Structure 1
Amino acid sequence: MSESNNVHAANEPGKAEGGLEPQLPATSPENISAEEKPEWGRLINETLRTSFLKHPRWEGIPASPVIMLILVTGYILATLCLQRLAIAGPADFHFRAIGANWFAFASWAWLCFSLRRDPVKPDGSNGSTAPSASHLFVLSMAQGLFLFLILNLPFGLSMYLGWITYGSFSQVISWLIYLVPLLLTIAIQSVFLWRACDRRAWSMVLIFFVTVSSIAMQITTRPPHFWYPKRVESSEADSSDRTPDISQEVFEAQAALFQEKMSGLQPQRTGIIDLYSLNFAPYGDENVFLNETSMVTQVMEKRFDAAGRSLQLVNNPGTMNSLPWATPLNLQRAIQHVAKRMDVNEDILFLHMSSHGASDGELSAGMWPLTVNTVTPEDLKRWLGEAGIKHRVISISACYAGNWIAPLSDADTLVMTASDADHTSYGCGSKSDLTFFGRAMYDEQLRNKTLSFETALASARPIIKQREEEAGKTDGYSNPQIAMGANIRDRLKLLELRLPSAQPLP
């Protein structure tokens, strides 16, 4: 207790020694002018300071049920807005999400009370500058809301403006984008709470326990979001910016559809080099990949005599009832079935894969709410080897697709990619009909001008470069690649020789 308080206690209430009025602490509410009364400005100032690891100053911090309600509402509105920014195109609002995440608020309030059970006053009028539980809760909530916005808003705006998509990153990078802001927030708030509490070991254990349990609850329970891509309606069956209802009936219909398509593949013809076409589009949130694989399928059927020997695997809400899903298991089974229909030592398998690509070469996959694993070059090479398919033409239309060349190249394989391992490709946005690579390579060259994959790619490269420059591509030329094995080159020449009558498509 301070000297002034001792003197005050020794005399009658309200009087100091010598009959003088006791001096109130400099920070007492009675000693603060009207302009200096606790206001939102004080809370905002301390929020900014503590967010940059400054020691908290509790004098004048406001705390009331109204302020707490405003901060919780702010969290909910910020979450609502950021979730909306993450969805390009129309979206459905789900009000029931308002009932989610209350465990985090409740546990945080309990934590603040546990760390500050003593009813001390943060204004210093009782000689203490430690916060009460309510002041600790208010300032920590304000700090958390500020960190949530500044660490997540740039990514949300980039998603909304179309600068990046979830498919732009590998799963590892996607997790980092989620975890780094979260871990940074935890670190800053832990420092703040440690400074505000009594700094005993059990306090730090309590902070850790509440924080980890709140995060684990959110991850394991997968609470509902406020926004989801707009659901597909019966009159909008060809739109990929809608979220389909994936029910048990859909799963059963898909299984039957896959078997139907497999059964429809025609067997090989003895003494004839047949080309079997398999097109794979695993990313279902944009129509461009469906469009491209449909176009490539048509070119292979009409120009390379693959009619009756072609198959599309596609994730797209508009093709739920017409095409099998593009999942790794379906692709593996399709390769195995094609191997049984073809002469693996004579015929050629053409495989075109179209999706977003990440810097490590990983192709994006999925169609909300369906979770789809990705296919790696190692997976594909193993499946082709297990099926015994010798002659292969593999085409990868994606950013950073050059990462697929080394794992798949050999004397019996031709690998073509829309980009090298260090650059993005172009034209894979939601407003594109075809990618630059798909349009130049297949729709323009192989459709009308040549049956040679090598010639088609050599002609397409300068066209793609020019179009990228005209479109303002900023990260450099995509630089499409080709790796041609000696044996597959000879096999493709034999195929071309038997297709002299093939006419350009209209």
Structure 2
Amino acid sequence: MIDLKPSINFWHDLKSNQVAGLWLFLGSRKSLQIVHPSIFQLLFWGAVAASVNTLYSWMVAGQVGHFNSQGLVSYALWPFIALIVGIFLSQRMNNQRLMLVPALLWLVLDSNVLLIQCFLQYLGDNNLLNFLPDSIYNFLPTLFMVFFVWQSLAVIWVFSRELKWPWWERALIMFATVCTLVVWQMSVKQQPIWKVDDSPPTISEDALYAQGNLLRQTLEQIQLGDFSQTHWYFLGVAGDSYDSVFSSEVQRIKSQFDTRFGTLGRSVQLVNDPDTRTKIPIASETSIQLALNRIGQQMNKDTDVLFMYLTSHGLANHFELENAPIDLNQINPQWLRSALDKSGIKWRVIVISACYSGSFIPALQSDNTLVITASAADRSSFGCNSESDYTYFGRAFFDQAMREKSTLHDAFTDAQATVSKWENAQGFEPSEPQWSLGKNMELMLPQLEKHLFPSPTVIPTSPNPMPSPTTP
């Protein structure tokens, strides 16, 4: 028999209902033997569920936006339906107190599931889950959606077993529940409890008309190589506009190359950043190709060398270019190799700082090329926090190692060890920076490096606190 006799102790009922919710999650009829329904318990768990859902929606919204009462009304649909089901059951079983049980059990289970989601969201917001593989992040939303579906179906499952409904009646009600869930899910996405109003990105008229002149002036200032000397040319690309670390990194590294490595007049930076749209050319396939072509025209192809640095977010075989509201093509390894070949540039040092950047190595490899990547083909890299000046690899390689070492290999080895130390301290999966050196470049590089690194002097390094660990 179903025990519906409440105690006079509110906290005793609260404990019993919490346990009943856990049994419901397991699909056990024991939940009906433990639950202690009352109007006070229903109101209490309703307030808890509404508060936890509001908290979760606020955290997902990035702690900005405003409370949306329509979202709370949309959420209340499900306990209301459960209450209607309870009324139907109480009439059918001639037991008035039964009307509160489905809604009460649903609210208890939903509150517990949402508390777990809030906890995981808090850990993620504070970069405490970076030790998990990327596949987990894609799986968690689906898992909690399954939990939400199940908490509704579990109520039906438990009652249908306890009341010995025929199989066709169980199947029909469950099917109707799933259909209602689908319709509700489509609605609730448009009406979250904590809402951030969409503000379409814009580009100013000044920036729109400035970009053409900026790119033209930038490319025109690239100096012609002196055939009696070896020169290094620098091209820096900051791919994403929504994380300022990429813009900051490229600008700092260009300044470093101009002042320390002698590329003044032979360096170009292409940056996606809302703050620089009237000052620096944006990074796109078109601007990258034009910059490579211009450098190829101005350099002495037999003795000069290009140092190209790309930094952004990335996926396997994908380097991200983003500068909303402009719709930019994305860079893949084959396109980048083709762009380099079209430019006619012979000697190439290509450094890519992005997650999964090692996937670019096979396409970019050649006898005359050195390819360095911040991560292996199947690994993430770290440090793309907008509060940072450099990514992990950018700080370790450029801001530290290349200030102290006199060869690229020594700088890479030193940066590899530094990045590994930072990642181990944070408990991250190692990014495993990669080095791929062509056979002709292996012979040529020592001669080229003589014209890159200045004579050994004592040069102070910049402060190097452990960077912020967000992944690109």
Letter paired with 1:112: A
**Larger of the two Rg values belongs to structure:** 1
Letter paired with 1:217: S
Preserved contact between residue 284 and residue 329 of structure 2 (Cα < 8 Å): no
Alignment-derived partner of residue 415 in structure 1: 371
Preserved contact between residue 254 and residue 267 of structure 2 (Cα < 8 Å): no
2:67 and 2:287 map into 1 onto residues whose CA distance is: 41
Q: How far off is 1:416 after superposition?
A: 0.8
1:97 equivalenced with 2:64 (yes/no): no
- SS of equivalent residue, structure 1 residue 410: coil
Say which of 403, 409, 425 aligns to 1:472: 425
Letter paired with 1:75: A
- 1:443-462 deviation per Cα after TM superposition (whole angstroms, max 9, x unaligned): 23434643x43343234444
Q: How far off is 1:394 after superposition?
A: 2.3
1:57 equivalenced with 2:12 (yes/no): no
Q: How far off is 1:483 after superposition?
A: 0.5
Preserved contact between residue 335 and residue 384 of structure 1 (Cα < 8 Å): no
- 1:306-360 deviation per Cα after TM superposition (whole angstroms, max 9, x unaligned): 5363113244x655664566xxxx43122222134232793655332334667x6
1:454 equivalenced with 2:409 (yes/no): yes
1:50 and 1:362 map into 2 onto residues whose CA distance is: 45
Preserved contact between residue 207 and residue 277 of structure 2 (Cα < 8 Å): yes
Preserved contact between residue 283 and residue 355 of structure 1 (Cα < 8 Å): no
Preserved contact between residue 313 and residue 354 of structure 2 (Cα < 8 Å): yes
- 1:243-286 deviation per Cα after TM superposition (whole angstroms, max 9, x unaligned): 9x7653x354544454343222235626656624122242734x
Instruction: Structure 1: state its 5+ residue gaps.
Output: 1-24, 229-242
Change (3 A) 1:200 1:353: same
Q: How far off is 1:398 after superposition?
A: 4.2
Change (3 A) 1:357 1:73: farther
1:138 equivalenced with 2:104 (yes/no): yes
- 1:3-35 deviation per Cα after TM superposition (whole angstroms, max 9, x unaligned): xxxxxxxxxxxxxxxxxxxxxx99575xx7646
1:370 and 1:68 map into 2 onto residues whose CA distance is: 51
1:195 equivalenced with 2:195 (yes/no): no
Give % identity.
Answer: 20
Change (3 A) 1:439 1:214: same
Show the 5 A alignment for 1:243-254: 247-248=201-202, 250=203, 252-254=205-207
1:174 and 1:377 map into 2 onto residues whose CA distance is: 26
Say which of 184, 188, 207 aligns to 2:177: 207
Preserved contact between residue 111 and residue 210 of structure 1 (Cα < 8 Å): no
Q: How far off is 1:383 after superposition?
A: 5.4
2:177 and 2:21 map into 1 onto residues whose CA distance is: 19
- SS of equivalent residue, structure 2 residue 265: coil
- SS of equivalent residue, structure 1 residue 54: coil
Change (3 A) 1:394 1:223: farther
Change (3 A) 1:227 1:396: same
Q: How far off is 1:482 after superposition?
A: 0.8
Say which of 199, 224, 237 aligns to 1:269: 224
1:472 and 1:187 map into 2 onto residues whose CA distance is: 39
1:382 and 1:223 map into 2 onto residues whose CA distance is: 46
Q: How far off is 1:173 after superposition?
A: 5.3
Show the 5 A alignment for 1:27-38: 34=8
Show the 5 A alignment for 1:372-383: 375-377=331-333, 380-381=336-337
Change (3 A) 1:68 1:202: same
Change (3 A) 1:50 1:59: closer
Alignment-derived partner of residue 146 in structure 2: 183
Say which of 257, 282, 290 aligns to 1:300: 257
Q: How far off is 1:98 after superposition?
A: 3.6
Task: Give the aligned length.
Answer: 441
Say which of 433, 439, 442 aligns to 2:398: 442
Preserved contact between residue 279 and residue 312 of structure 1 (Cα < 8 Å): yes
Alignment-derived partner of residue 464 in structure 2: none
1:351 equivalenced with 2:314 (yes/no): no
1:148 equivalenced with 2:104 (yes/no): no
Preserved contact between residue 236 and residue 250 of structure 2 (Cα < 8 Å): no
Change (3 A) 1:473 1:214: same
1:138 and 1:372 map into 2 onto residues whose CA distance is: 51
Q: How far off is 1:77 after superposition?
A: 2.5
State the TM-score, normalizing by the size of structure 2.
Answer: 0.73
1:217 equivalenced with 2:218 (yes/no): no
- SS of equivalent residue, structure 2 residue 32: coil
Alignment-derived partner of residue 159 in structure 1: 124
